[in-house]
């Protein structure tokens, strides 16, 4: 594989580098939950880096004039971490031109931002999950494509197999050209553990559309940007339960001075897709 950069690995209370660079994965067919195939059929546009033996099982290309309620739900309008305002239903919408817009803005009541999830509508154990999107630079904020286990992330040591948050990408510190991949397990309190990587000096990822994906199987997680592998890990023990998809944008004081940022800004999403191994592969 030809790489044009050297990723910088950041490990926080996780497994060692050897675990991060796990052996080649053993592909497995995914277990799909929720409403069947999500409207997808056949092989679809299977990414070339997956090779043969894959099928598209769920997708949204955001055609039409509103969010497809059979595929997505707005996240609850919760207060966000680190003084980052609230999620808002108003700030995730379809633009009528084939794009999902997830926006962050400033209001008299504080920062408001959008978030969607497929919880209760689509989930899958193992497979390949990909988004194609255009990501803004936001000082003090970030966009993300991530996955959460059905039932949540359980509290306790060595419980990653029972539920791990998979951050396919986060645009934290995008002003430096950085992109993050990460895994979180053990809950979000004292027993929280994390392992991740920061890809530094990639400003081109904030120009135009790019794809971000993760291949998750029994052997671990392999992350891709524009079809190129960028990180692999089996930290925390590989999750063995189905997970649902999330697309979001938000802010936090620890991420920078959002008060000095010019808003609104948004992530524009061209598609989100999920694939699995065909039976017998």
Label each residue of 216-260 as H, E or C: EECCEEEEEECCEEEEEECCCCCCCCCEEEEEEEEECHHHCCHHH
Q: Is residue 195 within 8 Å of 22, Cβ to Cβ?
A: no
| Tokens at 67, concatenated | 């969010």
- For the ranges 28-42, 69-83, 167-181, 241-255, the lowest mean pLDDT is seen at 28-42
Query: What integer pLDDT is reported at residue 16 of this predicted model?
Result: 41
Query: What would the pLDDT profile of 69-83 be if each residue is shown by its tens digit?
Result: 999 999 999 888 766
> Hey, what domains does the chain have and what are their CATH numbers?
8-277 (2.60.120.200)
The percentage of the chain sitting over the pLDDT mark of 70, rounded to a whole number, equals 83
Query: What would the pLDDT profile of 114-164 be if each residue is shown by its tens digit?
Result: 999 999 999 999 999 999 999 999 999 999 999 999 999 999 988 999 999
Buried b (16+ CB within 10 A) or exposed e, 191-211: eebbbbbbbeebeebbeeebb
Residue 46, classified by CB atoms within 10 Å of its CB into exposed (0-12), middle (13-18) or buried (19+), is middle
- Total-model pTM: 0.85
What single-letter DSSP state applies at residue 160?
A: G
32 pLDDT band, cuts 50/70/90, is low
Beta-bridged to residue 251, according to DSSP, are 141
Which of residues 209 and 24 earns the better pLDDT score?
209
């Amino acid at each position: 594989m030809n790489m044009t950069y050297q990723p910088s690995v950041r490990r926080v209370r996780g497994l060692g580098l050897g675990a991060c660079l796990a052996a080649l994965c053993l592909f497995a067919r995914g277990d799909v939950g929720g409403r069947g195939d999500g409207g997808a059929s056949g092989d679809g546009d299977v990414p070339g880096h997956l090779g043969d033996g894959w099928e598209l099982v769920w997708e949204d290309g955001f055609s039409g004039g509103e969010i497809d309620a059979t595929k997505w739900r707005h996240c609850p309008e919760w207060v966000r971490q680190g003084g980052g305002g609230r999620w808002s239903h108003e700030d995730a919408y379809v633009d009528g031109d084939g794009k999902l817009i997830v926006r962050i803005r400033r209001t008299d009541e504080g920062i408001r931002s959008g978030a969607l999830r497929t919880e209760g509508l689509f989930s899958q154990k193992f497979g390949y999950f990909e988004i194609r999107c255009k990501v803004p630079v936001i000082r003090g904020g970030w966009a993300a494509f991530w996955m959460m286990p059905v039932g949540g992330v359980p509290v306790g040591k060595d419980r990653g197999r029972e539920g791990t948050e998979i951050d396919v990408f986060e645009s934290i510190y995008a002003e430096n050209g950085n992109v993050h991949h990460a895994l979180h397990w053990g809950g979000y309190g004292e027993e929280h553990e994390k392992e991740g990587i920061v890809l530094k000096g990639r400003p081109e990822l904030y120009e135009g559309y790019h794809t971000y994906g993760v291949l998750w199987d029994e052997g671990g997680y392999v992350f891709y940007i524009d079809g190129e592998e960028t990180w692999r890990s089996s930290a925390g023990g590989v999750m063995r339960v189905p997970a649902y998809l999330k697309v979001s944008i938000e802010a936090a004081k620890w991420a920078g001075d959002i008060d000095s940022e010019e808003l609104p800004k948004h992530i524009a999403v061209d598609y989100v897709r999920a694939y699995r191994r065909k039976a017998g592969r």
